[in-house]
A and B are shown apart, each in its own frame.
Chain A
Amino acid sequence: MSGQGTMRRVKLHDIAHARAGDKGNTSNVSVWVYDPGDYALVKAQLTAERVKSAYPNLLKGAVTRYELDQLHGLNFVMLDALEGGVNTSLGLDSHGKSWSFLILDLDVEVPENRGPIPAA
Protein backbone atom coordinates (compact mmCIF):
# COMPACT_ATOMS: atom_id res chain seq x y z
CA MET A 1 0.00 0.00 0.00
CA SER A 2 2.55 2.56 -1.09
CA GLY A 3 1.66 6.24 -0.97
CA GLN A 4 -0.55 5.85 2.09
CA GLY A 5 2.04 6.33 4.80
CA THR A 6 2.69 3.82 7.53
CA MET A 7 0.20 1.08 8.08
CA ARG A 8 -0.63 -1.12 11.02
CA ARG A 9 -2.04 -4.60 11.09
CA VAL A 10 -5.44 -5.38 12.61
CA LYS A 11 -7.75 -8.36 12.49
CA LEU A 12 -10.56 -8.06 9.97
CA HIS A 13 -12.78 -8.78 13.00
CA ASP A 14 -11.75 -5.38 14.40
CA ILE A 15 -13.30 -3.47 11.50
CA ALA A 16 -15.87 -5.77 9.91
CA HIS A 17 -18.65 -8.24 10.66
CA ALA A 18 -19.63 -11.33 8.69
CA ARG A 19 -22.21 -14.09 8.29
CA ALA A 20 -21.81 -17.61 6.91
CA GLY A 21 -24.38 -19.65 4.98
CA ASP A 22 -24.37 -23.07 3.31
CA LYS A 23 -25.92 -24.74 0.30
CA GLY A 24 -24.77 -28.29 -0.25
CA ASN A 25 -20.97 -28.32 -0.19
CA THR A 26 -20.76 -24.59 -0.95
CA SER A 27 -20.18 -22.05 1.79
CA ASN A 28 -20.71 -18.31 1.44
CA VAL A 29 -19.49 -15.67 3.84
CA SER A 30 -20.61 -12.06 3.51
CA VAL A 31 -18.29 -9.43 5.00
CA TRP A 32 -19.48 -5.95 5.99
CA VAL A 33 -17.26 -3.10 7.24
CA TYR A 34 -18.57 -1.18 10.27
CA ASP A 35 -17.16 2.09 8.92
CA PRO A 36 -17.72 2.79 5.20
CA GLY A 37 -14.31 4.51 5.26
CA ASP A 38 -12.68 1.07 5.58
CA TYR A 39 -14.45 -0.44 2.57
CA ALA A 40 -11.86 0.49 -0.06
CA LEU A 41 -8.94 -1.00 1.86
CA VAL A 42 -10.82 -4.18 2.70
CA LYS A 43 -11.92 -4.53 -0.93
CA ALA A 44 -8.30 -4.06 -2.05
CA GLN A 45 -6.78 -6.50 0.43
CA LEU A 46 -9.43 -9.19 0.96
CA THR A 47 -9.39 -10.72 -2.48
CA ALA A 48 -10.82 -14.11 -3.42
CA GLU A 49 -7.25 -15.38 -3.92
CA ARG A 50 -6.29 -14.19 -0.44
CA VAL A 51 -9.19 -16.10 1.15
CA LYS A 52 -8.50 -19.24 -0.85
CA SER A 53 -4.79 -19.25 -0.03
CA ALA A 54 -5.43 -18.68 3.69
CA TYR A 55 -7.18 -22.03 4.14
CA PRO A 56 -6.07 -24.38 1.35
CA ASN A 57 -6.85 -27.55 3.32
CA LEU A 58 -10.46 -26.51 3.84
CA LEU A 59 -11.31 -24.54 0.71
CA LYS A 60 -10.93 -27.23 -1.93
CA GLY A 61 -12.75 -25.48 -4.76
CA ALA A 62 -12.90 -22.10 -6.46
CA VAL A 63 -13.52 -18.95 -4.41
CA THR A 64 -15.50 -16.18 -6.11
CA ARG A 65 -16.03 -12.69 -4.68
CA TYR A 66 -19.11 -10.53 -5.36
CA GLU A 67 -19.22 -6.86 -4.35
CA LEU A 68 -22.14 -4.78 -3.10
CA ASP A 69 -20.47 -1.37 -3.18
CA GLN A 70 -23.56 0.62 -2.19
CA LEU A 71 -23.83 -1.39 1.05
CA HIS A 72 -20.07 -1.74 1.62
CA GLY A 73 -20.20 -5.52 1.57
CA LEU A 74 -18.31 -8.40 -0.05
CA ASN A 75 -19.65 -11.90 -0.61
CA PHE A 76 -17.26 -14.85 -0.81
CA VAL A 77 -18.65 -17.99 -2.43
CA MET A 78 -16.46 -21.01 -1.72
CA LEU A 79 -17.05 -24.27 -3.61
CA ASP A 80 -16.18 -27.65 -2.04
CA ALA A 81 -15.62 -25.84 1.25
CA LEU A 82 -17.76 -27.82 3.71
CA GLU A 83 -16.07 -31.22 3.82
CA GLY A 84 -19.04 -32.65 1.94
CA GLY A 85 -21.82 -30.47 3.34
CA VAL A 86 -24.25 -30.60 6.20
CA ASN A 87 -25.40 -34.19 5.70
CA THR A 88 -22.00 -35.64 4.76
CA SER A 89 -19.33 -33.90 6.84
CA LEU A 90 -18.11 -35.56 10.02
CA GLY A 91 -17.18 -32.18 11.47
CA LEU A 92 -18.96 -30.74 14.49
CA ASP A 93 -19.99 -27.63 12.56
CA SER A 94 -21.17 -29.37 9.44
CA HIS A 95 -23.01 -26.23 8.24
CA GLY A 96 -19.80 -24.20 8.44
CA LYS A 97 -21.66 -21.61 10.53
CA SER A 98 -18.31 -20.63 12.04
CA TRP A 99 -16.55 -20.09 8.71
CA SER A 100 -17.43 -16.37 9.08
CA PHE A 101 -14.91 -16.22 11.92
CA LEU A 102 -12.24 -17.89 9.79
CA ILE A 103 -12.53 -14.91 7.43
CA LEU A 104 -12.70 -12.38 10.29
CA ASP A 105 -9.53 -13.94 11.72
CA LEU A 106 -7.49 -12.71 8.71
CA ASP A 107 -5.24 -9.66 9.05
CA VAL A 108 -5.71 -6.39 7.19
CA GLU A 109 -3.50 -3.30 7.06
CA VAL A 110 -5.08 0.00 8.05
CA PRO A 111 -3.43 3.46 8.04
CA GLU A 112 -1.48 4.19 11.23
CA ASN A 113 -3.45 7.39 11.65
CA ARG A 114 -6.83 5.66 11.41
CA GLY A 115 -9.08 6.48 14.38
CA PRO A 116 -9.29 4.09 17.34
CA ILE A 117 -10.82 0.69 16.81
CA PRO A 118 -13.52 -0.18 19.35
CA ALA A 119 -12.32 -2.88 21.74
CA ALA A 120 -13.84 -6.31 21.34
Chain B
Amino acid sequence: MLRLGCGAGFSSDRLGPAIDLAEKGRLDYLVFETIGERTLAFGHRDRKLDPKRGYNPQLAQRMRGVLKATKANGTRIVTNMGVANVPDAARVVIEVARELGLKGLKVAAVLGDEVTDLLTPDTRLFDYHDRKISEVGLPLAGANVYLGIDAILPALETGADVVITGRVSDPSLFLSPIVHTYGWRRDDWAALGRGTLVGHLMECGMQITGGYYADPGKKDVPRLADCGYPIAEVQPDGSAVITKLDDAGGMVTPRTVKEQLLYEVHDPKRYLTPDVTADFSAVQIKEEGRDRVRVANGSGTARPDTLKVTVGFDGGYLGEAGVSYAGPNSAARAALAADILRDRLGRHSEIARNMRVDLIGLNALHATAHGVRHNAEDVRVRVAMRSADRSACETMLWEVEAMLCCGPAGGGGYRGQITPSVVTHSALIERERVRPSVEVLVA
Protein backbone atom coordinates (compact mmCIF):
# COMPACT_ATOMS: atom_id res chain seq x y z
CA MET B 1 0.00 0.00 0.00
CA LEU B 2 1.22 3.44 -0.98
CA ARG B 3 0.94 6.37 1.44
CA LEU B 4 0.73 9.85 -0.09
CA GLY B 5 0.52 13.05 1.92
CA CYS B 6 -0.30 16.57 0.84
CA GLY B 7 1.79 19.27 2.52
CA ALA B 8 0.32 22.28 0.72
CA GLY B 9 -2.82 22.83 -1.31
CA PHE B 10 -2.08 26.38 -2.35
CA SER B 11 0.73 28.89 -2.50
CA SER B 12 0.41 30.28 1.03
CA ASP B 13 -0.73 27.11 2.77
CA ARG B 14 0.45 26.37 6.33
CA LEU B 15 3.84 24.81 6.99
CA GLY B 16 3.50 23.38 10.53
CA PRO B 17 1.06 20.57 9.65
CA ALA B 18 3.30 19.66 6.67
CA ILE B 19 6.22 19.18 9.08
CA ASP B 20 3.93 16.95 11.19
CA LEU B 21 3.21 14.83 8.10
CA ALA B 22 6.90 14.63 7.18
CA GLU B 23 7.80 13.51 10.71
CA LYS B 24 4.87 11.28 11.65
CA GLY B 25 3.00 10.42 8.45
CA ARG B 26 5.02 7.30 7.49
CA LEU B 27 4.70 8.61 3.94
CA ASP B 28 6.15 7.30 0.73
CA TYR B 29 5.58 10.67 -0.92
CA LEU B 30 4.86 14.17 0.35
CA VAL B 31 3.35 16.46 -2.30
CA PHE B 32 3.27 20.25 -2.16
CA GLU B 33 0.82 21.79 -4.63
CA THR B 34 1.21 25.57 -4.78
CA ILE B 35 0.17 26.86 -8.21
CA GLY B 36 -3.13 28.47 -9.14
CA GLU B 37 -4.06 30.83 -11.94
CA ARG B 38 -3.48 33.68 -9.50
CA THR B 39 -0.19 32.46 -8.06
CA LEU B 40 1.28 31.51 -11.45
CA ALA B 41 0.57 35.10 -12.45
CA PHE B 42 2.39 36.24 -9.28
CA GLY B 43 5.33 34.02 -10.29
CA HIS B 44 5.62 35.79 -13.64
CA ARG B 45 5.28 39.14 -11.90
CA ASP B 46 8.05 38.27 -9.39
CA ARG B 47 10.39 37.00 -12.10
CA LYS B 48 9.88 40.18 -14.07
CA LEU B 49 10.98 42.20 -11.03
CA ASP B 50 13.94 39.86 -10.33
CA PRO B 51 15.00 37.17 -12.87
CA LYS B 52 16.28 34.98 -9.99
CA ARG B 53 12.79 34.75 -8.47
CA GLY B 54 9.39 33.60 -9.70
CA TYR B 55 9.29 30.33 -7.74
CA ASN B 56 7.13 29.80 -4.65
CA PRO B 57 8.15 32.45 -2.08
CA GLN B 58 7.94 29.91 0.78
CA LEU B 59 10.06 27.26 -1.00
CA ALA B 60 13.17 27.62 1.17
CA GLN B 61 11.17 27.74 4.41
CA ARG B 62 9.19 24.67 3.45
CA MET B 63 12.33 22.73 2.54
CA ARG B 64 14.04 23.78 5.77
CA GLY B 65 10.99 22.50 7.63
CA VAL B 66 10.69 19.04 6.09
CA LEU B 67 13.84 17.94 4.25
CA LYS B 68 15.65 16.35 7.22
CA ALA B 69 12.60 14.32 8.18
CA THR B 70 11.70 13.25 4.64
CA LYS B 71 15.29 12.22 3.92
CA ALA B 72 15.49 10.25 7.20
CA ASN B 73 12.12 8.58 6.62
CA GLY B 74 12.66 7.74 2.97
CA THR B 75 9.83 10.01 1.92
CA ARG B 76 10.21 11.56 -1.51
CA ILE B 77 8.92 15.05 -2.25
CA VAL B 78 7.01 16.00 -5.39
CA THR B 79 6.14 19.66 -5.78
CA ASN B 80 5.27 22.33 -8.33
CA MET B 81 6.94 25.04 -6.22
CA GLY B 82 9.11 25.90 -9.23
CA VAL B 83 6.13 27.98 -10.48
CA ALA B 84 7.57 30.37 -13.12
CA ASN B 85 11.27 29.62 -12.48
CA VAL B 86 12.03 25.90 -12.04
CA PRO B 87 15.83 26.04 -12.52
CA ASP B 88 16.35 28.59 -9.75
CA ALA B 89 13.89 26.75 -7.51
CA ALA B 90 15.92 23.55 -7.90
CA ARG B 91 19.06 25.46 -6.91
CA VAL B 92 17.28 26.77 -3.79
CA VAL B 93 16.42 23.22 -2.74
CA ILE B 94 20.09 22.21 -3.19
CA GLU B 95 21.24 25.20 -1.11
CA VAL B 96 18.86 24.31 1.71
CA ALA B 97 19.98 20.66 1.59
CA ARG B 98 23.63 21.75 1.93
CA GLU B 99 22.72 24.10 4.76
CA LEU B 100 21.07 21.14 6.55
CA GLY B 101 24.06 18.89 5.91
CA LEU B 102 22.12 16.62 3.57
CA LYS B 103 25.05 15.92 1.27
CA GLY B 104 24.12 13.90 -1.78
CA LEU B 105 20.46 14.87 -1.74
CA LYS B 106 19.21 14.61 -5.29
CA VAL B 107 16.81 17.05 -6.96
CA ALA B 108 15.17 16.44 -10.33
CA ALA B 109 13.81 19.52 -12.08
CA VAL B 110 11.05 19.05 -14.64
CA LEU B 111 11.49 21.64 -17.38
CA GLY B 112 9.54 22.51 -20.48
CA ASP B 113 6.23 23.92 -19.26
CA GLU B 114 7.13 27.39 -20.52
CA VAL B 115 5.75 27.53 -24.03
CA THR B 116 5.67 31.24 -24.78
CA ASP B 117 7.67 30.54 -27.96
CA LEU B 118 5.01 28.13 -29.23
CA LEU B 119 2.29 30.79 -29.26
CA THR B 120 1.64 33.37 -31.95
CA PRO B 121 -0.45 36.54 -32.01
CA ASP B 122 -3.11 34.42 -33.77
CA THR B 123 -3.37 31.78 -31.03
CA ARG B 124 -7.00 31.57 -29.87
CA LEU B 125 -8.02 31.94 -26.22
CA PHE B 126 -10.81 29.44 -25.61
CA ASP B 127 -11.85 31.02 -22.30
CA TYR B 128 -12.15 34.46 -23.89
CA HIS B 129 -14.75 33.87 -26.58
CA ASP B 130 -12.00 32.48 -28.87
CA ARG B 131 -10.39 35.87 -29.30
CA LYS B 132 -6.79 35.95 -30.54
CA ILE B 133 -3.85 36.77 -28.27
CA SER B 134 -3.32 39.92 -30.34
CA GLU B 135 -6.86 41.07 -29.50
CA VAL B 136 -6.23 41.17 -25.74
CA GLY B 137 -4.32 44.43 -26.13
CA LEU B 138 -1.83 43.69 -23.36
CA PRO B 139 1.85 42.61 -23.54
CA LEU B 140 2.41 38.84 -23.21
CA ALA B 141 4.07 38.04 -19.86
CA GLY B 142 4.52 34.28 -20.21
CA ALA B 143 2.69 31.10 -21.11
CA ASN B 144 2.80 27.75 -19.31
CA VAL B 145 1.40 24.45 -20.48
CA TYR B 146 -0.08 21.93 -18.04
CA LEU B 147 2.38 19.04 -18.15
CA GLY B 148 1.31 15.60 -16.91
CA ILE B 149 2.75 12.30 -15.72
CA ASP B 150 4.71 11.86 -18.98
CA ALA B 151 6.88 14.74 -17.83
CA ILE B 152 7.05 13.82 -14.10
CA LEU B 153 7.66 10.05 -14.34
CA PRO B 154 11.16 10.39 -15.87
CA ALA B 155 12.07 12.64 -12.92
CA LEU B 156 10.85 10.01 -10.44
CA GLU B 157 12.82 7.36 -12.35
CA THR B 158 16.07 9.23 -11.58
CA GLY B 159 15.56 8.27 -7.93
CA ALA B 160 15.56 11.93 -6.88
CA ASP B 161 14.65 12.82 -3.29
CA VAL B 162 12.87 15.93 -4.51
CA VAL B 163 11.07 16.35 -7.82
CA ILE B 164 10.32 19.98 -8.60
CA THR B 165 8.17 21.23 -11.44
CA GLY B 166 6.51 24.32 -12.77
CA ARG B 167 2.98 24.17 -14.22
CA VAL B 168 1.76 20.58 -14.22
CA SER B 169 -1.80 19.48 -13.75
CA ASP B 170 -2.41 19.30 -10.00
CA PRO B 171 -3.66 15.68 -9.87
CA SER B 172 -0.59 14.58 -11.90
CA LEU B 173 1.61 15.43 -8.90
CA PHE B 174 -0.11 12.55 -7.07
CA LEU B 175 -0.85 10.30 -10.04
CA SER B 176 2.81 10.12 -11.06
CA PRO B 177 4.01 8.46 -7.80
CA ILE B 178 1.05 6.06 -7.99
CA VAL B 179 1.89 5.05 -11.58
CA HIS B 180 5.60 4.91 -10.72
CA THR B 181 4.87 2.57 -7.80
CA TYR B 182 2.29 0.28 -9.37
CA GLY B 183 3.57 0.30 -12.94
CA TRP B 184 0.21 0.99 -14.55
CA ARG B 185 0.08 1.11 -18.31
CA ARG B 186 -0.15 4.65 -19.70
CA ASP B 187 -3.30 3.72 -21.59
CA ASP B 188 -5.10 1.98 -18.72
CA TRP B 189 -7.60 4.83 -18.69
CA ALA B 190 -9.80 3.38 -15.95
CA ALA B 191 -6.84 3.02 -13.57
CA LEU B 192 -5.48 6.46 -14.49
CA GLY B 193 -8.96 7.84 -13.81
CA ARG B 194 -8.97 6.26 -10.32
CA GLY B 195 -5.50 7.62 -9.58
CA THR B 196 -6.54 11.05 -10.86
CA LEU B 197 -9.51 10.91 -8.49
CA VAL B 198 -7.10 10.41 -5.59
CA GLY B 199 -4.94 13.27 -6.82
CA HIS B 200 -7.92 15.53 -7.32
CA LEU B 201 -9.17 14.86 -3.78
CA MET B 202 -5.72 15.46 -2.27
CA GLU B 203 -4.48 18.44 -4.26
CA CYS B 204 -6.16 21.14 -2.18
CA GLY B 205 -4.77 19.92 1.11
CA MET B 206 -7.04 20.74 4.02
CA GLN B 207 -10.05 21.30 1.78
CA ILE B 208 -10.72 17.61 2.39
CA THR B 209 -9.88 17.56 6.12
CA GLY B 210 -12.17 20.36 7.24
CA GLY B 211 -10.75 23.50 5.66
CA TYR B 212 -13.00 25.64 3.39
CA TYR B 213 -15.86 23.71 5.01
CA ALA B 214 -16.89 24.90 8.49
CA ASP B 215 -20.26 26.67 8.81
CA PRO B 216 -20.91 27.02 12.56
CA GLY B 217 -24.07 25.28 13.71
CA LYS B 218 -24.43 23.48 10.38
CA LYS B 219 -21.03 21.98 9.68
CA ASP B 220 -18.77 22.14 12.72
CA VAL B 221 -15.16 21.04 12.48
CA PRO B 222 -13.15 19.96 15.54
CA ARG B 223 -9.94 21.90 16.25
CA LEU B 224 -9.92 23.73 12.93
CA ALA B 225 -7.08 25.95 14.24
CA ASP B 226 -4.84 22.86 14.19
CA CYS B 227 -6.26 21.23 11.09
CA GLY B 228 -4.13 18.46 9.62
CA TYR B 229 -3.27 17.81 5.99
CA PRO B 230 -4.68 14.69 4.30
CA ILE B 231 -3.10 11.29 3.75
CA ALA B 232 -4.20 8.90 0.99
CA GLU B 233 -3.63 5.16 1.39
CA VAL B 234 -3.68 3.98 -2.21
CA GLN B 235 -4.23 0.34 -3.19
CA PRO B 236 -2.72 -1.24 -6.33
CA ASP B 237 -6.12 -0.97 -8.07
CA GLY B 238 -6.26 2.80 -7.40
CA SER B 239 -8.97 2.72 -4.76
CA ALA B 240 -7.98 4.65 -1.66
CA VAL B 241 -8.76 5.67 1.88
CA ILE B 242 -8.48 9.37 2.70
CA THR B 243 -7.41 9.98 6.28
CA LYS B 244 -5.22 12.24 8.44
CA LEU B 245 -2.89 12.02 11.43
CA ASP B 246 -4.79 10.90 14.57
CA ASP B 247 -3.61 13.84 16.66
CA ALA B 248 -4.28 16.52 14.05
CA GLY B 249 -7.37 18.73 14.13
CA GLY B 250 -10.00 18.72 11.42
CA MET B 251 -11.91 15.72 10.14
CA VAL B 252 -12.39 13.47 7.12
CA THR B 253 -16.04 12.57 6.54
CA PRO B 254 -18.13 11.65 3.49
CA ARG B 255 -19.30 15.28 3.42
CA THR B 256 -15.81 16.81 3.33
CA VAL B 257 -14.89 14.31 0.60
CA LYS B 258 -18.02 15.01 -1.46
CA GLU B 259 -17.48 18.77 -1.44
CA GLN B 260 -13.92 18.27 -2.68
CA LEU B 261 -14.98 15.68 -5.27
CA LEU B 262 -16.56 18.38 -7.45
CA TYR B 263 -14.29 21.29 -6.51
CA GLU B 264 -13.39 23.05 -9.77
CA VAL B 265 -14.97 20.19 -11.71
CA HIS B 266 -17.39 20.90 -14.57
CA ASP B 267 -18.82 17.75 -16.20
CA PRO B 268 -18.08 14.95 -13.67
CA LYS B 269 -17.90 12.46 -16.56
CA ARG B 270 -15.17 14.43 -18.29
CA TYR B 271 -12.55 15.89 -15.99
CA LEU B 272 -9.74 16.69 -18.41
CA THR B 273 -6.10 16.37 -17.43
CA PRO B 274 -3.02 15.81 -19.60
CA ASP B 275 -3.09 12.14 -18.47
CA VAL B 276 -6.69 11.00 -18.88
CA THR B 277 -10.28 12.11 -19.29
CA ALA B 278 -11.27 11.18 -15.76
CA ASP B 279 -14.81 10.08 -14.94
CA PHE B 280 -16.03 10.86 -11.42
CA SER B 281 -19.71 10.30 -12.23
CA ALA B 282 -20.05 6.90 -10.52
CA VAL B 283 -17.71 7.48 -7.58
CA GLN B 284 -18.64 5.74 -4.33
CA ILE B 285 -17.77 7.30 -0.97
CA LYS B 286 -17.97 5.25 2.22
CA GLU B 287 -17.06 5.98 5.82
CA GLU B 288 -14.83 3.17 7.11
CA GLY B 289 -14.07 4.54 10.52
CA ARG B 290 -13.33 7.77 12.31
CA ASP B 291 -11.56 10.08 9.82
CA ARG B 292 -11.28 7.25 7.31
CA VAL B 293 -13.26 7.53 4.07
CA ARG B 294 -12.94 5.04 1.22
CA VAL B 295 -13.28 6.31 -2.35
CA ALA B 296 -13.79 3.91 -5.21
CA ASN B 297 -15.25 3.55 -8.68
CA GLY B 298 -13.43 6.36 -10.40
CA SER B 299 -12.89 5.68 -14.07
CA GLY B 300 -11.70 7.29 -17.25
CA THR B 301 -11.39 7.36 -21.00
CA ALA B 302 -8.60 8.38 -23.39
CA ARG B 303 -6.58 11.51 -22.66
CA PRO B 304 -7.17 14.65 -24.72
CA ASP B 305 -4.99 15.33 -27.78
CA THR B 306 -4.42 18.95 -26.80
CA LEU B 307 -2.91 20.45 -23.64
CA LYS B 308 -4.15 23.52 -21.80
CA VAL B 309 -1.93 26.58 -21.65
CA THR B 310 -2.29 29.44 -19.18
CA VAL B 311 -1.33 32.62 -20.99
CA GLY B 312 -0.30 35.53 -18.78
CA PHE B 313 -0.45 39.15 -19.87
CA ASP B 314 1.04 42.21 -18.22
CA GLY B 315 -2.06 43.76 -16.68
CA GLY B 316 -0.45 46.95 -15.43
CA TYR B 317 -1.30 47.81 -11.86
CA LEU B 318 -4.08 46.97 -9.46
CA GLY B 319 -4.86 49.88 -7.14
CA GLU B 320 -6.99 49.36 -4.05
CA ALA B 321 -7.90 51.85 -1.35
CA GLY B 322 -10.46 52.10 1.40
CA VAL B 323 -11.81 54.21 4.23
CA SER B 324 -14.25 53.16 6.97
CA TYR B 325 -17.29 54.55 8.77
CA ALA B 326 -18.78 53.16 12.01
CA GLY B 327 -21.63 53.90 14.41
CA PRO B 328 -24.97 55.65 13.84
CA ASN B 329 -25.81 56.46 10.20
CA SER B 330 -22.55 54.93 9.00
CA ALA B 331 -24.19 53.29 5.97
CA ALA B 332 -25.40 56.69 4.76
CA ARG B 333 -22.03 58.31 5.40
CA ALA B 334 -20.22 55.53 3.57
CA ALA B 335 -22.68 55.77 0.67
CA LEU B 336 -22.06 59.53 0.51
CA ALA B 337 -18.30 58.95 0.39
CA ALA B 338 -18.83 56.39 -2.40
CA ASP B 339 -20.93 58.91 -4.35
CA ILE B 340 -18.26 61.59 -3.98
CA LEU B 341 -15.55 59.20 -5.11
CA ARG B 342 -17.56 57.99 -8.11
CA ASP B 343 -18.16 61.61 -9.05
CA ARG B 344 -14.57 62.80 -8.66
CA LEU B 345 -12.81 59.68 -9.97
CA GLY B 346 -15.26 59.59 -12.87
CA ARG B 347 -13.66 62.79 -14.14
CA HIS B 348 -10.39 60.86 -14.82
CA SER B 349 -11.02 58.76 -17.91
CA GLU B 350 -8.10 56.37 -17.21
CA ILE B 351 -9.43 55.61 -13.71
CA ALA B 352 -13.10 55.43 -14.64
CA ARG B 353 -12.37 53.01 -17.50
CA ASN B 354 -11.81 50.07 -15.15
CA MET B 355 -12.91 50.97 -11.64
CA ARG B 356 -15.26 49.59 -9.01
CA VAL B 357 -16.58 50.94 -5.71
CA ASP B 358 -17.84 48.61 -2.98
CA LEU B 359 -19.38 49.15 0.43
CA ILE B 360 -17.85 46.44 2.59
CA GLY B 361 -20.36 45.46 5.27
CA LEU B 362 -23.31 46.29 3.01
CA ASN B 363 -22.81 44.71 -0.39
CA ALA B 364 -19.24 44.00 -1.38
CA LEU B 365 -18.80 40.34 -2.34
CA HIS B 366 -22.33 39.86 -3.64
CA ALA B 367 -22.84 43.40 -4.91
CA THR B 368 -23.16 42.41 -8.56
CA ALA B 369 -25.41 39.47 -7.70
CA HIS B 370 -28.05 41.24 -5.65
CA GLY B 371 -27.14 44.72 -4.39
CA VAL B 372 -27.80 45.97 -0.85
CA ARG B 373 -29.80 43.74 1.45
CA HIS B 374 -28.60 44.54 4.94
CA ASN B 375 -27.95 47.55 7.06
CA ALA B 376 -24.79 47.69 9.08
CA GLU B 377 -23.01 50.05 11.41
CA ASP B 378 -19.47 49.32 10.34
CA VAL B 379 -19.02 50.03 6.65
CA ARG B 380 -15.93 50.36 4.51
CA VAL B 381 -15.82 52.12 1.17
CA ARG B 382 -13.45 50.28 -1.15
CA VAL B 383 -12.29 51.43 -4.56
CA ALA B 384 -10.45 49.09 -6.92
CA MET B 385 -9.07 49.80 -10.36
CA ARG B 386 -6.72 48.32 -12.93
CA SER B 387 -4.58 50.40 -15.25
CA ALA B 388 -1.29 50.28 -17.14
CA ASP B 389 -0.69 53.77 -15.77
CA ARG B 390 0.65 53.66 -12.22
CA SER B 391 0.08 57.38 -11.73
CA ALA B 392 -3.65 56.88 -12.38
CA CYS B 393 -3.67 54.42 -9.47
CA GLU B 394 -1.81 56.97 -7.32
CA THR B 395 -4.43 59.60 -8.17
CA MET B 396 -7.18 57.21 -7.09
CA LEU B 397 -5.45 56.44 -3.76
CA TRP B 398 -5.03 60.15 -3.11
CA GLU B 399 -8.72 60.82 -3.73
CA VAL B 400 -9.76 58.04 -1.34
CA GLU B 401 -7.37 59.24 1.37
CA ALA B 402 -8.75 62.75 0.94
CA MET B 403 -12.07 61.42 2.28
CA LEU B 404 -10.52 61.70 5.76
CA CYS B 405 -10.77 65.50 5.72
CA CYS B 406 -12.95 66.25 2.70
CA GLY B 407 -15.59 63.54 3.01
CA PRO B 408 -18.44 62.60 5.38
CA ALA B 409 -18.10 62.77 9.18
CA GLY B 410 -16.05 60.22 11.05
CA GLY B 411 -14.15 58.61 8.19
CA GLY B 412 -11.06 56.67 9.30
CA GLY B 413 -8.85 53.68 8.69
CA TYR B 414 -7.54 54.66 5.26
CA ARG B 415 -5.32 52.05 3.59
CA GLY B 416 -4.22 52.00 -0.02
CA GLN B 417 -1.94 49.83 -2.13
CA ILE B 418 -0.77 49.45 -5.70
CA THR B 419 0.45 46.07 -6.91
CA PRO B 420 1.64 44.87 -10.32
CA SER B 421 -1.02 42.80 -12.00
CA VAL B 422 -1.02 39.91 -14.47
CA VAL B 423 -4.13 39.00 -16.46
CA THR B 424 -4.48 35.36 -17.56
CA HIS B 425 -6.37 33.50 -20.28
CA SER B 426 -6.32 29.93 -21.59
CA ALA B 427 -5.35 28.36 -24.91
CA LEU B 428 -4.82 24.84 -26.24
CA ILE B 429 -1.78 23.43 -28.04
CA GLU B 430 -1.07 20.07 -29.63
CA ARG B 431 0.60 17.65 -27.25
CA GLU B 432 3.38 16.76 -29.72
CA ARG B 433 4.74 20.30 -29.72
CA VAL B 434 5.60 20.17 -26.02
CA ARG B 435 9.03 18.71 -25.14
CA PRO B 436 9.53 18.36 -21.39
CA SER B 437 12.92 17.38 -19.99
CA VAL B 438 14.56 16.56 -16.65
CA GLU B 439 17.68 18.04 -15.10
CA VAL B 440 19.27 16.43 -12.04
CA LEU B 441 21.18 18.36 -9.37
CA VAL B 442 23.02 16.86 -6.38
CA ALA B 443 23.75 18.61 -3.08
* Chain A residues proximal to chain B, CB less than 8 Å: 13, 17-19, 21-26, 28, 30, 32, 55, 57-58, 64, 66, 68, 70-71, 73, 75, 77, 83, 85-88, 90-95, 97-98, 102, 118-120
The CA of A55 and the CA of B218, in the complex, are separated in Å by 25
Contact with A along B145-166 (1 / 0, CB 8 A): 0000000000000000000000
Q: How many A-B residue pairs have CB under 8 A?
A: 131
The CA of A98 and the CA of B261, in the complex, are separated in Å by 18
Interface residue B262 (Cβ < 8 Å from any Cβ of A): yes
Interface centre among A85, A87, A102 (most CB of B within 10 A): A87
Closest-by-CB residue of B relative to A71 is: B258
**In-complex Cβ contact of A30 among B259, B364, B424 (8 A):** B259
Q: Which of B85-93, B110-118, B188-196, B265-273 contacts A (4 or more CB under 8 A)?
A: B265-273
* Chain B residues proximal to chain A, CB less than 8 Å: 36-38, 41, 127, 212-213, 215-219, 255, 258-269, 281-285, 315, 354-356, 358, 360, 364-370, 382, 384-386, 421-426
**In-complex Cβ contact of A17 among B219, B268, B282, B355 (8 A):** B219
Closest-by-CB residue of A relative to B127 is: A24
Instruction: Supply 18 further A-B pairs (C-beta < 8 A) apart from A23-B264, A87-B424, A91-B384.
Output: A23-B37, A23-B266, A24-B37, A26-B266, A32-B259, A66-B268, A68-B268, A70-B282, A70-B284, A71-B258, A75-B268, A85-B127, A87-B38, A87-B315, A87-B422, A90-B384, A92-B364, A119-B217
Contact status B264-A85, CB under 8 Å: no
Given A19-B260, A90-B386, A120-B218, A71-B285 contact (CB < 8 Å): yes
Contact status A90-B37, CB under 8 Å: no
The CA of A88 and the CA of B421, in the complex, are separated in Å by 9
Interchain residue pairs A-B with the least CB separation, the first 3: A21-B264, A30-B262, A90-B356
The CA of A57 and the CA of B366, in the complex, are separated in Å by 11
